[in-house]
Structure 1
Amino acid sequence: MKKRIKFGPAGNPIGFKGQTVNVCDYIRDIGLEAYEYQATYGVKIQKQSGLKLGENARSNNVRISMHGPYYINLAAQKDDVLERSIERLVQSAQAAEWIGAYRIVFHPGFYTKYTPLEALNRCKGAITELLEKLDTMGIKKFTFAPETTGKRSQLGNLDAIIDICQSFDHFSPTIDFAHLHARGRGCIKGADDYHRILTRLEEGLDGIGKGKEALHCHFTRIEYTDAGERKHHVMMEEEYGPPLEPLLQELVDCGWDATIICETPLLEQDALVMKDVYKKVLNG
């Protein structure tokens, strides 16, 4: 039996007007199966609300993830910036435990004055400190999911994300296909390009037992410049890539257990568009 792909919005759906703790009722009712809670401007959720949101997700069989704060740079030059970044990830892990998030998405950082290898090594040092702090605090139910990034100045190409996830327990990738497309200046044209990405990912993770476990993905149409990501676009704007159908075909054919979070401006509306394309792929 082929594994089924789950779809959901990045943040509260446009059509949802209630309290966030009940958002998964709405998500299930419209036919979606995933939800990414947004803590992009700081982890503000309190324990009681987090526990309620987690229960709401479980009762609706909605797979929940969490996007950590944007203000994270694990390759920062300044030690105080590094410390604040680590603290934000500690806060994220605590909140993720409350809500039962299966992934904590975050952007690893920027190269700044460092070479890509130097930035990666500085990031790894910060992660080591992060995991030591979480162990001391007794926080154990978390999986960090560093995301492939869309700007060429950012730490987070595919190989760097694989390297990080190979290096640490409690780490699994977030593959943002739009970011890879923008970072590569329009590099994803069709099935062969997706096959190359997914093969590289599987080969990189198989050796540590993370091969085809639940793959967390982001998708949107994207506009880019020579520097990378510029702007997200809606699914109907097909002049912007990357293409969706060949991605879904590759995920189905290769047996990936995937969750795809929609990051277009239309959120749940485009998540449903993605799901419709998926149904067509399944039906041949």
Structure 2
Amino acid sequence: MIRLGPAGNPVDYKGESSKVCSYIRAMNLDAYEYQATYGVRVSERIAKGIKEDSRENDILVSIHAPYYINLSSPKDDVRERSIERLIQAARAGEWMGAYRIVFHPGFYSGQSKERALKVCEESIGRLLEEIEAYNIQGFCFAPETTGRRSQLGSLSEIIEICQSFDNFEPTIDFAHIYARRRGAPRTVEDYMNILDLLEDNLDIKHLHCHYTRIEYTDKGEKKHHSLDEKEYGPPLEPILYALIEKGWDYTIICETPQRDLDALKIKETLGVYHMGKYNILVVPLPFIKEKFYSR
């Protein structure tokens, strides 16, 4: 099964976040990523309202932790504040029943990549001690592949982090990988290689993904774009084909400026067959394999 939904509230939604899942379900989408990217400011009341509303409408909820996290910083105070922000996100995630707590691990900050990864893993060890002390239950941290070459968060680094700790699963942002690698991957084989690498190293049952079209420079990610802006990559169809061929369960969170409307376009591209009340079977358009399997 593939679930689709927006990163944040739908563009035209004006109501309280506690009822946003009803709106998302009415759009015929079934996932929602709450954006705490500029700070965890959600109240317990609103968060618990999201949990109730999501369960009533079969919407799978995740939460994106603040951008201001750098677990690999050489500065003690930066790491401590980063740990505190992740604790806040985990607490809010517990209230809202989030199945993933997405976060960007950090920056190299002038260190070698190996040293930055070691510092990050030490910080995560401290984070998990704090989570236990706060008695936060049912959490799953989901470090994300990052889009800038100065950031910790290559595919191999995310895999190593998830191998090293319990209750950690990857967030695969295909646009970030594309920007970080400056225009690759592009073909079905390229994306199958990514999924095979995950399969060989992690016990994947449900993969959390992000997608947008993206503009990049030599340094990596620059700007997100809508699906209509076809001059930007990565191409959508080979990603979808690879995901379906691998056969796991997925959540795809759309991060374009038109996040909910473009999520519907992704769903249309998939070619969804309706069975019962909700969409439970997804198949690719027949041209995808022929068009994108190699170039």
How far apart in 1 are the matches of 2:187 and 2:249?
20
1:262 equivalent in structure 2: 254
Structure 1's consecutive aligned runs of 4 or more residues displaced over 2 angstroms after TM superposition are 280-284
Alignment of 1:1-284 (within 5 A): 4-205=1-202, 210-211=203-204, 213-279=205-271, 281-282=283-284, 284=286
Deviations 1:113-172 (A, max 9, x none): 211110000000000000001111111210000000000000000000000000000100
How far apart in 1 are the matches of 2:69 and 2:134?
21
How far apart in 2 are the matches of 1:153 and 1:282?
35
**Structure 2 counterpart SS, 1:36:** strand
How far apart in 2 are the matches of 1:42 and 1:227?
26
Deviations 1:247-267 (A, max 9, x none): 111111111211000000001
**Is the Cα–Cα contact under 8 Å of residues 269 and 285 in structure 2 kept in the other structure?**
no
Unaligned ranges ≥5, structure 2? 273-282, 287-295
- Count, aligned residues: 276
Deviations 1:56-83 (A, max 9, x none): 1111000000000011000111101110
How far apart in 2 are the matches of 1:27 and 1:48?
20
Identity of aligned residues (%): 56
Aligned residue type for 2:242: E
How far apart in 2 are the matches of 1:96 and 1:46?
11
Q: CA deviation at 1:30?
A: 0.6
Unaligned ranges ≥5, structure 1? none
TM-score (norm 1): 0.95
Aligned residue type for 1:199: D
Q: CA deviation at 1:239?
A: 1.3
**Structure 2 counterpart SS, 1:259:** strand
How far apart in 2 are the matches of 1:246 and 1:172?
23
**Structure 2 counterpart SS, 1:8:** strand
